[in-house]
Structure 1
């Protein structure tokens, strides 16, 4: 990728984070993603499972909105088009899933949504990225490919893999604001009023400011701690992970990637908590919180109990959700071919992810991965 493209990509990631404050900009961001990677349409959907309301519902280059307005209901058909509910739940978050690779062609061809809506518009394939899937929310981004553009290529998938953790982080933090637009001028006041703890930190993890909820947490020393002016938690390993994410957010938010999304932290109260790291520096909207702050740390309730060794693999080895899922399936005795079929990804993608798992964990053989998984049976 040429330097100009890298700079454009960085701006795109910055625009994604601006959607935390102004979620109506998601349509503009989807337009940019489609233009950057040659997709015909893009759609972003995040739904609350508590009341089934849409948190975010943005579409790009598509008349899907008109379809909904006309009352054409394809919900069940679209779920079927991606393999059904159980199959969808197997797909790793953040991993682009190509429809034609994940689902048999006869199922696609006979699908009502595909026959009545997608195919007449020349949309012959699509790629989906799971953004959130827990007891509170479910969210996905789906991009369609026009037949004139040819098959979905590796460059498109690689680009979505880079963007996915940034979109996931933005969507997750936006939910703490109830996905409502926050005026840049009142962003600081809105943060102050949040019931979740928010700490602003500089590039060295020094505490610049804490809202009322975070101030109470710091005073109690639970779950966050003020250690000589730096933000920390009780676990040394988790503190290192957190401070590394803050430093990376300050240095280059575009390369933050998976770091700083849902870092699990211990709490004396027993309720599982996580920290989300939002970069602040590159945008005037986000930097309006405090000029000295490099990142905003949101201390929020976790969507479920801690998952071990899942959380340890994220913290200690920076494995992506796709890499963790393949790690888990390898440890369950699944072959690479079986994993390819189960997850709806190509065999070469499985091999690539597995290579990264070995590289990041320092393991050489699959038996070493099994041994590592058994050793990660307690919080770190």
Structure 2
């Protein structure tokens, strides 16, 4: 099989796994075969320290088989005792990191976490990739060591870099559906979902069907609209980006489609809209006489903590702008997303954050988030994945 064909099969499996997490083991098996490795782990979670870290999901596979026993062993035994966890969160994003950069030489001799990785998971010579996940979450893709003696020589690391954005996209789509309670739903069931906008496209990119939430957004027409059944963005730059994403997802001549995402900026009073495009597996059933070839998800990057900015301003002594920034941070927005929503520079948003710090004697963003969340009566909990 050529590299192009192998890559296409992996992409198709990832697109399916984004919609149905039970299919992740199939994607993992194809990746493991292409890389020639023993197995892999994909995990996503959130937290500022080992004590308050919470996993959205963890999926460990060895030789193409899901291993929930190893997942439980790590979560119950390895993770609480592992010294590398707090260090890992400071490593760079989007780079293949060898395990020797995560554990010191002494830790490789004494660490229970490393011992479990080496003896139970065939991961003593593994590499990891740290990725930004939805909202404030982080993704860890851990690739176990190669079966061949050449180790990570040759093109294996290049393949990891090639697959990296598609792994992240799989998580983005899956967590968006999980947040809406729609993970694993069939095509026709997605049209009844209310927590996220859903648009189904045929092979030409024409809209086949859309749920009520998506129709409401399209009918408003302020940022997204449809003409003759095709999807467009109102702003030229955003439409150029949208059409490029759709073209990659629905390529001609039977090439493998690639998923993609972009942010659609809205008015200063509304959060930005996250748009995810996920090509559909060929085996999906035909719907209304057309093959549904791609799925478009429209979501607001909010965690729905339900805190009124006016309340936060009154209780915390903040200006209206400071209050909105604080609440959006608590809802999981990044500084760049807040800046886009408010039509401000990122430096301006950071200035407001520092001013809030000074008012309340804070030193970290996590402290500010906890302060705001206290108004809602508790700390947020992540949506569980599978």
Same fold (TM > 0.5): yes
Provide the alpha-carbon RMSD of the alignment. Answer: 3.6
Query: Are positions 1:299 and 2:302 aligned together?
Result: no
Query: Are positions 1:29 and 2:31 aligned together?
Result: no
Q: Is the 8 A contact 1:41 1:144 kept in 2?
A: yes
Cα shift at 1:140 = 1.8
Change (3 A) 1:294 1:134: closer
User: For residue 90 of structure 2, what is the aligned residue in structure 1?
Assistant: 87
Cα shift at 1:157 = 1.5
Q: Is the 8 A contact 1:131 1:140 kept in 2?
A: yes
Cα shift at 1:99 = 2.1
Change (3 A) 1:7 1:298: same
User: For residue 246 of structure 1, what is the aligned residue in structure 2?
Assistant: 246
Query: Are positions 1:52 and 2:54 aligned together?
Result: yes
Query: Residue 43 of structure 2: SS of its match in structure 1?
Result: strand
Provide the C-alpha distance between the structure 1 equivalents of 2:53 and 2:115, rounded to a whole number of angstroms.
Answer: 31
Cα shift at 1:48 = 6.3
- What is the aligned counterpart of 2:17 among 12, 16, 19? 19
Deviations 1:63-93 (A, max 9, x none): 9643555685111455x446714423xx224
Change (3 A) 1:250 1:229: same
Query: Are positions 1:73 and 2:77 aligned together?
Result: yes
User: For residue 367 of structure 1, what is the aligned residue in structure 2?
Assistant: none
Change (3 A) 1:277 1:306: farther
Bigger shift: residues 138-147 or 7-16 = 138-147
User: For residue 176 of structure 1, what is the aligned residue in structure 2?
Assistant: 176
Cα shift at 1:58 = 3.8
Query: Are positions 1:278 and 2:282 aligned together?
Result: no
Provide the C-alpha distance between the structure 2 equivalents of 1:209 and 1:122, rounded to a whole number of angstroms.
Answer: 46
Q: Is the 8 A contact 2:97 2:128 kept in 1?
A: yes
Cα shift at 1:256 = 5.6
Q: Is the 8 A contact 2:126 2:145 kept in 1?
A: yes
Larger radius of gyration: 2
User: For residue 265 of structure 1, what is the aligned residue in structure 2?
Assistant: 264
Change (3 A) 1:220 1:86: same
User: For residue 214 of structure 1, what is the aligned residue in structure 2?
Assistant: 214
Alignment TM-score, normalising by the size of structure 1: 0.66
Cα shift at 1:300 = 0.8
Query: Are positions 1:10 and 2:8 aligned together?
Result: yes
Deviations 1:1-29 (A, max 9, x none): xx633212211210111112321121232
Q: Is the 8 A contact 2:174 2:183 kept in 1?
A: no
Query: Residue 26 of structure 1: SS of its match in structure 2?
Result: helix
Change (3 A) 1:135 1:6: closer
Matches within 5 A, 1:1-380: 4-47=2-45, 52=54, 54-61=56-63, 65-67=68-70, 69=72, 72-78=76-82, 80-81=83-84, 84-88=87-91, 91-93=92-94, 95-101=95-101, 104-115=104-115, 117-118=117-118, 123-145=123-145, 149-178=149-178, 182=184, 186-202=186-202, 205-227=205-227, 229-251=229-251, 260-261=260-261, 263-268=262-267, 269-280=269-280, 282-285=281-284, 291-302=290-301, 304-305=333-334, 307=336
Query: Residue 284 of structure 2: SS of its match in structure 1?
Result: helix
Report the count of equivalent residues.
Answer: 300
Q: Is the 8 A contact 1:131 1:167 kept in 2?
A: no
Provide the C-alpha distance between the structure 2 equivalents of 1:86 and 1:165, rounded to a whole number of angstroms.
Answer: 19
Query: Residue 12 of structure 1: SS of its match in structure 2?
Result: helix
Structure 2 stretches lacking a partner, 5+ long: 302-331, 341-386
Change (3 A) 1:171 1:288: farther
Provide the C-alpha distance between the structure 2 equivalents of 1:43 and 1:121, rounded to a whole number of angstroms.
Answer: 10
Q: Is the 8 A contact 1:197 1:212 kept in 2?
A: yes
